[in-house]
Structure 1
Amino acid sequence: MTSIIKLHCLSGAGDESPPCYILQIDEFRFLLDCGWDEKFNMDFIEELKRHLNNIDAVLLSHSDPLHLGALPYAVGQLGLSCPIYATLPVYKMGQMFMYDLYQSHRNVSDFDLFTLDDVDTAFDRITQLKYNQSVDMKGKGLGLKITPVPAGHLLGGTIWRIAAPGEEDIVYAPDFNHKKERHLNGCEIEKIMRPSLLLLGAMNADYVQPRRRLRDEKLMTTILTTLRGGGSVLVCTDTAGRVLELAHMLDQLWRNKDSGLVAYSLLLLSNVSYNVVEFAKSQIEWMSDKLTRAFEGARSNPFALRHLHLCHSVAEVTRTPGPKVVLASFPDLETGFARDLFLLWASHPQNSIVLTARTSPGTLARDLLEKGSDRTIELTVRKRIRLEGAELEEFMQQQRNKAKEIVKEETDGGISSDSESDGELEMWVLTGKHDIPVRAENRAGGCFKSNKRHHAMYPCHEERSRADDYGEVIRPEDYRLAEVVDAEGEIRDVPPAAPQRIEPEEVMTEIPSKCISSVRQVSIRANIQYIELEGRCDGESLLRVLAHAKPHALVALRAKNDALAALRKHCESEGIEKVYTPNKGDIIDATTESHIYQVKLTDSVLCGLQWRSAGDAELAWLAAIVAPPRQREEQNKKTQTVDEMVSLAKHGLSAEFNAGALECCSGTVAIRRLENGRVALEGVLSEEYYKVRELLYDQFAIV
């Protein structure tokens, strides 16, 4: 059986934009990834809105914003409600990515594209799968089966194998790595052999990657040279993906006493650094065989990182003395703590900035990668600062007014409540500052509407102890976190307010602040180094994997012209005839067979078929004429008109077709079909008229 297969490239085709595709198999539509770029481009979101209600399932391949960044927006703001499938690490680490991304933007701007509630709602919809666990689709997707296969790029990263009805398999591999790393196994090439259609991320088809040993040596040399020269090293990495490989590698180096690194500090800086490391400790079974055997044998967790200190604000890094190495998010340097440290350290020549990924064009990291250092650039610096003076007083007055309005509404609601007892109207009022309803002695006249609001009874005001059990006076300010505001006055972490006795109208849920923006000239004098640690196949390996997979047809995704040229040349040598190179917005018809069509049968036709068992299936024979909708509609009208003429002739009533109407009884009665499909009977009231009407009623059901 052959399926109709189409791929709509919403994003991630012909350039390096994030992957987002709609794969249609017959009537079932998969959304393959839902990535978003660093600038939150809304162009493809507008296109996604048009197809959102037709999507039947979402398949997520990796946990970073490049592959699922737009998912909270699609679920929380656009109303995406179909099932979502991903592996357990993609579910866990994806949340950490989106939490860190949201908080990083909220730290410096009034970010409102999505909220933390949208993130939670989106990830609560995810069905968590294990590797090689097959899931059968239901409803319109009956006969389809999805299977996640290890990709080797990020923890829990997935290559999706979609089994279509018949013998057609579709493999979606946007990013993968066949080489083993310290904390991950490589992808399983044998699981993606001989697909009918391979959707391949071909961005690296022409990329020449240095060997891992040379890259590790370059990183070690940069770190040692910088630290011994009295500078610090900023390693720009992600939140919960490639940072695990870096953290594990550097912690092992710090454990080696001969390296001379024990005297320096190793820090991990992000809004969720603690959670990321804790989740990594609980997901060892998803990592490399070497780490799994070490954990099962010695029961030592490889992510119990003894030399890695976890930080959640720039102030903590600033307070750490001496030269240091900081792993900070995000690699694009557009936002997050990595950008904050870059602004602080870029002007000092003894420092080093290590870029670990080629981010999207137009980002600060890409600009540094292409143009290098020893220059002055103009950057927009955004930050959140506390309100002071008149602005603070105005904000406080607004809060008091809001509190008074709330109290007034509650008071009005309490006064307007009433209860009836023994046929008399009674009014309940609130007196004093208590919440206990008190019956008024003097009953007020008039009629009061009853609202069903229930007020709290028996108020309990907790008396806080001024001293502990040993008599020492408790001072709440001694227990406040010191990193509320960093050295530049920027708010990073907002701890819970110390317990104080304040009036209800003065209660605030957050520290009053505002966002400001300024343009700053940044002199780049630090050492800029690009050390590729993306964990993707290079060009040579990608083409070799393609030769082993031997797909019948290939779709090249996220590839520019040079990469596409190298890929086409290789496919010609390997005998792969069908190679599609779409651009953004293109729709590819990748159906294997030609001249096949989809025909929808009505329920009445299906009920009239005679089914016969054939093994596990049932077959029926149907002989019909297939015509376009308009032609078929005209054919139905003509057939029904002939039937009506035959029916009238049987009852002795002559009829002829004239000017779009069926005339009978010497032209005194006419049967006309209206544009809305209804039938109208026109003519002179007579015995023939009623006889024709009775015949019509016998043929049509009156609703």
Structure 2
Amino acid sequence: MTSIIKLHCLSGAGDESPPCYVLQIDEFKFLLDCGWDEKFDMDFIKELKRHVNSIDAVLLSHSDPLHLGALPYAVGQLGLNCPIYATLPVYKMGQMFMYDLYQSHKNVSDFDLFTLDDVDGAFDRITQLKYNQSIDMKGKGLGLRITPLPAGHLLGGTVWRIAAPGEEDIVYAPDFNHKKERHLNGCEIERIMRPSLLLLGAMNADYVQPRRRLRDEKLMTTILSTLRGGGSVLVCTDTAGRVLELAHMLDQLWRNKDSGLVAYSLLLLSNVSYNVVEFAKSQIEWMSDKLTRAFEGARSNPFALRHLHLCHSVAEVTRTPGPKVVLASFPDLETGFARDLFLQWAPHSQNSIVLTARTSPGTLARELVERGGERTLELTVRRRLRLEGAELEDYLQQRSRVSSNVKEEAGGISSDSESDGELEMCVVTGRHDIPARSDARPAGCFKTNKRHHAMFPCHEERARSDDYGELIRPEDYRLAEIVDAEGEIRDVPPAPPQRMEVEEELTEIPSKCVSSVRQVQIRANIQYIELEGRCDGESLLRVVAHAKPRAIVGLRAAPAALRTLAKHCESEGIEQIFTPNRGDIVDATTESHIYQVKLTDGLLAGVWWRAAGDAELAWLAAVVTAPRAREPTAEETPTDEMMSLEAGGGACAPHTASFINSVRLSELRAALAKLGLNAEFSAGALECCNGTIAIRRLENGRVALEGVLSEEYFKIRELLYDQFAIV
């Protein structure tokens, strides 16, 4: 059986926008990734909203925002409610990515696209899988099976293999790396052989990647020359993905005493740096065979990074004396601590800025990669400042008025509806009031209002203390300092006594967001050292030739890269090559002249069903009717209207009865014996009633009944008819 396969490209087609696709296999729809870049494109969200209610499952391939950044918004704001599948590292590290992304924006702006609760709610819906663990879909997806395979790009990165009915395999490989690295094994190429359809991320189809040895030498030369010259090095990397490869490599270099790097500081700066390293320590089994053997043999955790100091603010970096190397997020330099340090260090010629990834077009990092430094840029500087003076007074007064209004509403007297001329009054205090029903029943014939009255239990107030009896004071654990985008440190003063009742209710420090445009002169050494961990162009084309798919769809690539991929596929004899643009629908059905039709209620009402074993059969005669033209609304999913089958014309004309079953004469002989009729085989026929009736199988496979018309003849004929489903 052949499935109807369609791919709707919501994003990540014809350009380098984040990957997000709806893969339809018959009636089941997969959402392949749900990426969002630093631009937070809302046009993409509008398109995703039209598909949210029809999605049956989500498959996540990697943990960075490029592949799952819009998932919290889709779950928390759009109402995406379906199973989500990902590996354990994608689940763990994906949360770290989104926490860091949210906090980085919240530190400098009033970010409200999603909250941390949305992040937790989205990741709570994820079903965690292991590599090569197959899961069968249910309901509309009966017959579909998904299997995650190692991708080699990020920790837990996945190439999804989807087995469809009819021996059709679909492989979704947006980003992968076939080469082994320090902390990851490569992609298992042999597991993606001969798929019916290959959904391939072709971003690097025309990219020439430098050799790993030359790349590492360039990084080491930049670091050593900068540190010995009295400058610092900013390495712009991600939160919990490629930063693990960099951190492990640099920590190994710092351990080598001959390198001379022990005298300098190596820092990891992000909002979740401690959690990232701790999660990496607990996920060694997902890493390379070399690290796994080292952990099993010497019982030394390779991510017990002795020379890497974890930082969570720019102030901690500033307090670290001397030249230093800082791994900071994010690689696009649009937000986060990497941008803060860039604004501080770029004007000084002794410093170096190392860019490790080609981010989306239009970002600061991409512009620096393409045009270099040694120039003046006009950049928007955003920061969050603490309220002071009149602004703080106005904020506290407004907060006090809101608090007093809430207390009045909660502790005031509320009147209920009158019943039988009697006014019921109820005062509610405390957190857990016990409702009690009054025993007094008013006289009269009217229906009583069965209202509950609140009792007032005695709540014992206990002093909060730790296990050793020491009182817990929340003010001892307040944030001690605020660091703005320029690294200025401002201590948070304790709340004055007259405002204590208001300050206790504040969940965060009163602040405001300001932005300004600054002329930044770039004098630091700008170096682009590719550390993305993806296949280069030559390797990517070789993988395509080795996998030999029947059809291939080139995704998330510039037009030049797509042309290179299409030309290579034609030379390899691949039957179908699709290079869609954003918003296109690709019909990748393997067989031709296959259509989906729907049965109308009027047609099914006149169908007579006949039992045939565990199934029911019916004769259906109808005509194909084209769909009625109708403009879909903005909230509807843009799907192709299916043709329908309707009764009409000659569809209801009488037809010759069809006998459905393959009857064996031996089984028929046993059925005759139960009726008390003896039957024997003679010359390939079954003779009954002393040879007066014969049942034989003809050359065309049909069964013929011959003999003298008698009572036994009609019994045998009726028994023979019972062996078939007649429609």
Give the TM-score range, shorter chain.
0.7 to 0.9
Residues 433 and 455, structure 2, Cα contact 8 Å, conserved in 1: no
Aligned-pair distance for 1:503?
Answer: 2.5
The whole-number CA distance in structure 1 between the counterparts of 2:531 and 2:117 is: 32
- Post-superposition offset of 1:291: 0.4
1:23-49 residue CA offsets vs partner (Å, 9 max, x unmatched): 111111111000011110111111111
Aligned match of 1:670: none
2:660 corresponds to which residue? none
Find the counterpart in structure 2 of residue 659 from structure 1. Answer: none
Residues 500/83 of structure 1: CA separation in 2 closer, same or farther (3 Å cut)? farther
* 2-structure distance, mates of 1:399, 1:610: 73
Return the offset for 1:292: 0.5
1:316 maps to which residue? 316
Listed as ranges, the gaps of 5+ residues in structure 1 are 438-446, 644-703
Amino acid at match of 2:65: P
1:69, CA displacement in angstroms? 0.4
Deviations 1:235-270 (A, max 9, x none): 000000000000000010111111111111100000
Take 2:485 and 2:463, find their aligned partners in 1: how far apart are those partners? 37
Percent sequence identity over aligned pairs: 78
Query: Which secondary structure state, in structure 2, belongs to the residue aligned with residue 503 of structure 1?
Result: helix
- Secondary structure at the aligned position of 2:481 is classed as helix
Question: Secondary structure of 2:327's partner?
Answer: strand
Letter in 2 for 1:215: R
List aligned pairs for 1:217-616, cutoff 5 A: 217-413=217-413, 457-460=458-461, 462=463, 482-485=480-483, 488=486, 502-503=500-501, 507-601=505-599, 608-611=609-612
Distance 1:498 1:510 in 2: 16
Q: 1:156 to 1:457 in 2, by over 3 A?
A: same
Q: Is the 8 A contact 2:340 2:486 kept in 1?
A: no
Q: Secondary structure at the match of 2:461?
A: coil
The verdict on how the C-alpha distance between 1:338 and 1:288 changes in structure 2, with shifts beyond 3 A counting, is same
Instruction: Give the Cα–Cα distance (whole angstroms) in 2 for the partners of residues 476 and 497 of structure 1.
Output: 13
Aligned-partner Cα distance in 1 for 2:361–2:493: 37
Residues 101-157 of structure 1: CA distance to partner in whole angstroms, max 9, x if unpaired? 000000000000011011011001111100000100111111000000000000000
Q: Determine the C-alpha separation between the residues in 1 that align with 2:177 and 2:650.
A: 63
Q: Aligned to 1:280, what secondary structure does the other structure show?
A: helix
Amino acid at match of 2:547: A
Instruction: Rate the CA distance shift 1:193–1:348 in 2: closer, same or farther, 3 A.
Output: same
Letter in 1 for 2:579: T
Q: Aligned partners of 1:76, 1:17: CA distance in 2, in Å?
A: 22
CA distance in 1, matches of 2:40, 2:194: 37
What amino acid does structure 2 have at the position aligned with 1:161? R
The 3 A distance-change label for structure 1 pair 427 and 321 is same
C-alpha distance in 2, partners of 1:496/1:130? 50
Note the C-alpha offset of 1:343: 0.5
CA deviations 1:516-562 (Å, max 9, x no partner) are 01000101000000000000000000011111100000100012222
What is the CA–CA distance in structure 2 between the aligned matches of 1:312 and 1:524, rounded to whole Å?
26
Counterpart amino acid of 2:622? I
Helix, strand or coil for the counterpart of 2:527?
strand
> For the residues of structure 2 that align with 1:416 and 1:96, how far apart are their CA atoms?
49
Distance 1:634 1:193 in 2: 39
Q: Which contiguous aligned blocks of 4+ residues in structure 1 show a shift greater than 2 angstroms?
A: 415-418, 424-431, 433-437, 447-465, 473-507, 598-607, 609-613, 618-626, 629-643
Q: Per-residue deviation at 1:597?
A: 1.8
Partner of 1:20: 20
Measured after TM superposition, the shift of residue 457 of structure 1 is: 2.5
Residue 628 (str. 1) matches residue 629 (str. 2):
no
Aligned residue number for residue 76 of structure 1: 76
Normalised by the size of structure 1, how large is the TM-score?
A: 0.82
Runs (5+) with no aligned partner, structure 2: 435-447, 629-642, 655-727
Q: How far apart are the structure 1 equivalents of 2:484 and 2:111?
A: 21
Q: 1:569 offset after TM fit, Å? A: 2.0
* Structure 1 residue 200, shift from structure 2 partner: 0.4
Structure 1 CA distance for aligned equivalents of residues 265 and 64 of structure 2: 27
C-alpha contact 1:435 1:458 (8 A) present in aligned 2: no
Q: Which moved more, 1:215-224 or 1:633-642?
A: 633-642
Deviates more, 1:480-489 or 1:537-546: 480-489
Of residues 453-462 and 159-168 in structure 1, the stretch that sits farther from structure 2 once superposed is 453-462
Using the size of structure 2 for normalisation, the TM-score is: 0.79
Q: C-alpha separation between the residues in 2 aligned to 1:181 and 1:3?
A: 38
Deviation at 1:568, TM superposition (A): 1.8
AA aligned opposite 2:332: D
- Give the direction of change, closer, same or farther, for the CA distance of 1:452–1:128 in structure 2 (3 Å limit): farther
Contact 1:73 1:114 in 2 (8 A): yes
Contact 1:476 1:498 in 2 (8 A): no
Tell whether the 8 Å contact from 1:416 to 1:451 is kept in structure 2 after alignment.
Answer: no
Task: Tell me, in whole angstroms, the C-alpha distance in 1 between the residues paired with 2:498 and 2:586.
Answer: 64
Instruction: Name 1:190's counterpart in structure 2.
Output: 190
Opposite residue 124 of structure 1, the aligned amino acid is D
Q: Distance in 1 between matches of 2:287 and 2:515?
A: 43
Is the contact between residue 315 and residue 489 of structure 2 (CA under 8 Å) also seen in structure 1? no
* Deviation, structure 1 residue 220: 0.5
> Residues 553 and 464 of structure 1: is their aligned pair in 2 closer, same or farther, counting only changes over 3 Å?
closer
Name 2:54's counterpart in structure 1.
54
Q: State the number of aligned residues.
A: 622
The equivalent residue for 2:678 is none
RMSD, aligned α-carbons: 3.6
**CA distance in 2: counterparts of 1:341 and 1:624, whole angstroms:** 73
State how far apart, in whole Å, the 2-side matches of 1:519 and 1:105 are: 18
The corresponding residue for 1:686 is: none
Shift of 1:596: 1.2
CA distance, structure 2, for counterparts of residue 185 and residue 557 of structure 1: 24
* Cα contact 1:403–1:505 (8 A) shared by 2: no
Q: CA deviation at 1:482?
A: 4.1
In structure 1, what is the Cα distance between the partners aligned to 2:496 and 2:304? 33
User: In the alignment, residue 628 of structure 1 is paired with which amino acid?
Assistant: T
Q: Distance in 1 between matches of 2:584 and 2:301?
A: 47
- The AA in structure 2 aligned to 1:82 is C
